[in-house]
Amino acid sequence: MEASTMSGSNFSQLLTTLMPTTVRRGRPYPLCREWLCDIYFTRDQIISNAIILGRIGIGIIILLLGTKMEKDFMRSITTTIFLTILAAESFTLYCEIVNYLELFTASAKDSKQFIEQYIRWTRDLVNVLFSYNDINSMVMLVLLLYCCRIATHPGNRINAFPTNTMCLILQIIPFFLSILTFVEGVNNTTFMRVLGSISRVVTVVSFLLIVGQIFYSFVVLMRELPYEAATSLDMQVRDARSRLAWTLVYMIIPTLMLAFSAADAVMNVLNVQGGPNTPLRGLTIIVQIVKYLANFHRPTYMVIITMAFLPPYRRAVPLLFCCCSFCPQIHVEPLPRKPTEMSLMYRYADI
């Protein structure tokens, strides 16, 4: 692949090159006559489809885990992240289905019509979904760290807010910015390039906010919890320091992956490309490749770190898989809460 092909503003376009957006000359029609078609169901394709279905399945598991836990801002934020991830994965499954069905078109004319109607427009939506997930992850991680820190404050300093409502409102940011990215690709005028750079600036600012909050959170960890927090009935307040520490561990992989999105945004804003066969061009290509792979594998690593490091999800895993008649030895005590003794963090968690 030529270097000029690899230096686009969004490396996710590489994925769209695999989609049959043009009619292939010289191919027989139809390519497949039976549903179990050997041309489509190769070993690599079967593995690829299994991975897609597996990632959708484990994403649904994360959402199901949320139904097994008490009100928690971590649940609200994690659910918001995984709903957008599932939307992207569901669209990937759609792309596989329509590419498979295209093999059954009876003529070149039918194939062209099918591609125009069901496939060609998907290349733009792939870029929009990648951009949306990137920005949404950054915004939600900023909110997660902020909530973890305010839970360590004394009760009179906890500025609680309706978490679900805040997560919903914040979706305006990735929606608006991903649409700008799409419009810039369709209408590449100077004005639209300036507007499109807004999303890259927000990406860089969000990444810097995450890094800054991570360092500040280490400072917060060194402080002792107020006595009233240490004896609180609300787990979000009582275990605030422990939850913040585990959240910082949880943040390691997403932050490293988002670093490449921020680097790509900086290169695009500064119009850094480099000449052919130069180290700068090679660096640009590497950043775009890693950014694409980080987006592609986001469902996998997000599921693993969520169930391993976020405390409410670690607690919910045995509730989902083991708290049944087949596992009588597993017993998880409910959290000791009373409706009249809710903290602000608990009361506003699900509004």
Look at residue 334 in the predicted model and tell me its pLDDT: 39
Look at residue 239 in the predicted model and tell me its pLDDT: 80
C-alpha closest to that of 95 among 25, 58, 45: 45
Look at residue 78 in the predicted model and tell me its pLDDT: 92
Full-model pTM: 0.78
DSSP 96: H
Q: Is 245 helix (H, G, I), strand (E, B) or coil?
A: helix
What's the CA gap between 306 and 236, in Å, rounded?
A: 17
Look at residue 2 in the predicted model and tell me its pLDDT: 37
What's the CA gap between 148 and 247, in Å, rounded?
A: 8
Task: Say if domain 9-321+342-347 classifies as CATH 1.20.1070.10.
Answer: yes
Q: Check whether 333 has a pLDDT greater than 70.
A: no
DSSP per residue over 177-188, as a string?
HHHHHHHHHHS-
Q: Check whether 5 has a pLDDT greater than 50.
A: no
In this structure, is the dihedral angle defined by the CA atoms of residues 209, 214, 217 and 218, taken in order, positive or negative? negative
pLDDT in tens, 83-131: 999 998 899 899 999 989 988 988 888 888 888 888 888 877 888 888 8
Look at residue 196 in the predicted model and tell me its pLDDT: 73
Look at residue 247 in the predicted model and tell me its pLDDT: 92
Phi, psi of 80 (to 5 degrees): -65, -40
Query: Which token pair is 194?
Result: 């300036």
Query: Which token pair is 255?
Result: 């932050």
DSSP 334: P
What's the CA gap between 168 and 82, in Å, rounded?
A: 13
Look at residue 238 in the predicted model and tell me its pLDDT: 75
Residue 207 and residue 258 in contact, taking contact as beta carbons nearer than 8 Å: yes
**Angle between helix 252-269 and 190-221 (nearest 10):** 150
Q: Which of 1-5, 73-77, 149-153 has the highest mean pLDDT?
A: 73-77
pLDDT in tens, 167-200: 999 999 999 888 887 777 677 677 777 777 888 8
In this structure, is the dihedral angle defined by the CA atoms of residues 158, 159, 164 and 166, taken in order, positive or negative? negative
pLDDT in tens, 245-274: 999 999 999 999 889 888 888 888 777 666
Helix (H) or strand (E) holding 289: helix 279-296
pLDDT in tens, 34-44: 888 888 888 98
pLDDT in tens, 24-36: 556 788 888 888 8
